[in-house]
Copies of this chain bind each other. A is one copy, B any other.
Amino acid sequence: MFESAEIGHEIDKSTFEEEYAKLRTELLEAQFDLIESGTFPVIILAAGMEGAGVIDALTNAHTVLDSRHVVTHATDAPTREETERPRMWRFWRTLPPKGEIGIYVGAWYTTPLIGRILGKTGSADFDRQMQSIKRLENMLATEGALILKFWFHLDKKKQKKRLQKLEESERTKWRIEESPLGGSKHYEEVKSAAEQMMQITGTDQAPWIPVNATNKHYKSLVVMRTILDAIQARLAEPPAEQPVPAPVRVPDIDGKTLLSTLDLSHKLEKESYKKQLEKYQDRLNELVWDKKFRKHSVVLVFEGNDAAGKGGAIRRVIQFLDPRRYRVNQYAAPTEEERAQPYLWRFWRRIPQNGHVGIFDRSWYGRVLVERVEKFCSEADWRRAYGEINDFEAEMSQAGIVVIKFWLAIDKDEQELRFKAREETGYKRYKITDEDWRNREKWDEYTEAVCDMIDYTSTSIAPWTIVEANDKYYARIKVLKTICQQIAKRLK
């Protein structure tokens, strides 16, 4: 994998200066075009052998760019805010919006690489981490990001020499002393981990570019030229849409579906409702104040037919919770800032920190429900979203978050009754619009989308609970009871 990257390249100063002068102008112009077009973000990621001078290699490129539209991010130790959330949260926070350039040193590769090199992570676990990074980058790329990843390489001899030099100077020897990789002692481990990393995560969408790092002029020119070519190519030609093969589905033999076989006649009497409500609200409060909950948090997803009673159910959940401990996030059409980012971005930002409850009144499932049915995104987009959502929830679950998802189901007649009642009740009239009636016309399409969503995204770590919601009392208790059970199970 590193054969060509072990060939030395001697670029002398005058050749460099000549090339640099040319590249400088072209790169800045390309950046202006990028900003003006505002159609995609550029993510530049760099890593490499110790002593390869990763930062040095990037400095020229960063310097010539318009600094208002480029940020270089080091991967320092995470802040408390960051450690209390899934490990990718800190990177999502800093993703460049469309038109901007983000330069990352190490980024999401740093922790897995160090773990593997020091032998704390086994080969299979490292493989899994790399697969998960591959899917993340693939998603960012499919959402439009131009991703370039540089690996600055040194052969063993050159590295040894380089590190000696760094150690001899008072000004630079801290770089070796503070290195988590212990200098050149782990050369073979670094090379082999990097090989595995490149084999898995080096894709057409997010390629690795291995660069020989012995000559500073050479590596600087390679970086500038690669970025320039890639931006120009992308501006000239947007990526082709991947054709979507027709999905294979279980053929419909008898018309029975997940929703059609639901028993919506479940009911609860008022007395029984009140008793149980109190019981589960108390229980929930207890759980949230449990000492063990300090290392967890809860994400509650509420989806359902229009007028199925999401709002009412949410109110019963939060009624006696400490308002500092929860946040209700409601989602409608994305804002301009949100549209400049991948679709999951606006949900990533609202992931609760440890000890908190994040409530999502509508959620990332909009992608495979309203966006699918109303054709706000392409078929390829919503089809790939099932996997992306499963990854997103797995990421949360690994970080200790209990993900609980509800589909509140009512039938078509019940919906009509509720719509009409809303129109007639003064303070509820704002809740019913023409759009609600229009959505209702697409009942069957939504039903199909809901069945697909549940089949593809109900997983053991983040299962869907279908709530029979024709009776509001029954529905609210089922919601509260499920929340208590699932939190308790996780805290055990």
Contact = CB atoms under 8 A, between A and B. Distances in A.
A191 B459 CA distance: 10
B4 A250 contact: yes
Q: Please give me the 10 A-B residue pairs with the lowest Cβ-Cβ distance, nearest first.
A: A240-B243, A124-B124, A225-B251, A207-B248, A124-B125, A204-B245, A124-B128, A127-B128, A3-B454, A4-B455
A454 B210 CA distance: 13
B455 A1 contact: yes
A229 B245 contact: no
A256 interface: yes
A242 interface: yes
Interface residues of A, number: 65
Contacts of A226: 248, 250-251
Contacts of A2: 455
Contacts of A459: 1, 195, 199
Contacts of A246: 233
A94 interface: no
Contact of A456 (B1, B128, B243): B1
A261 interface: yes
Given A127-B127, A131-B131, 16 more contacts: A1-B459, A3-B458, A5-B250, A7-B261, A9-B254, A9-B256, A11-B253, A19-B253, A148-B248, A192-B460, A199-B390, A204-B245, A221-B251, A226-B251, A233-B246, A240-B243
Contacts of A456: 1
A55 interface: no
Nearest to A207: B248
A31 interface: no
A245 B240 contact: yes
Contacts of A390: 199
A486 interface: no
Nearest to A192: B460
A244 B7 contact: no
A118 interface: no
A182 interface: no
A205 interface: yes
Contacts of A244: 204
Nearest to A223: B251
Q: Which of A148, A218, A251 has the most CB of B within 10 A?
A: A251
Given A1-B459, A253-B9, A458-B1, A248 B209 contact: yes
Interface string A1-23: 11111010111000000010000
Contacts of A458: 1, 3
A4 B464 contact: no
A230 interface: yes
A119 interface: no
Contact of A3 (B127, B211, B258, B387): B258
A239 interface: yes
Contacts of A148: 248
A491 interface: no
Nearest to A237: B246
Interface in A99-131: 122, 124-125, 127-128, 131
A176 interface: no
Interface string A247-290: 11111011011100100000000000000000000000000000
A451 interface: yes
A222 interface: yes
A240 to B, nearest CB: 4
A251 to B, nearest CB: 4
Contacts of A451: 4
Nearest to A394: B199
22 contacts: A1-B456, A1-B459, A4-B455, A5-B250, A7-B257, A7-B258, A9-B253, A9-B256, A127-B127, A127-B128, A127-B131, A131-B131, A195-B460, A205-B245, A209-B248, A209-B249, A229-B251, A239-B245, A240-B245, A241-B243, A242-B242, A242-B243
Given A248-B209, A460-B192, A257 B127 contact: no
Interface in A385-444: 387, 390
A362 to B, nearest CB: 21
A18 to B, nearest CB: 12
Nearest to A148: B248
Nearest to A249: B209
Contacts of A5: 250
A335 to B, nearest CB: 30
Contacts of A7: 256-258, 261
A247 B1 contact: no
A135 to B, nearest CB: 11
Given A124-B124, A390-B199, A4 B258 contact: yes
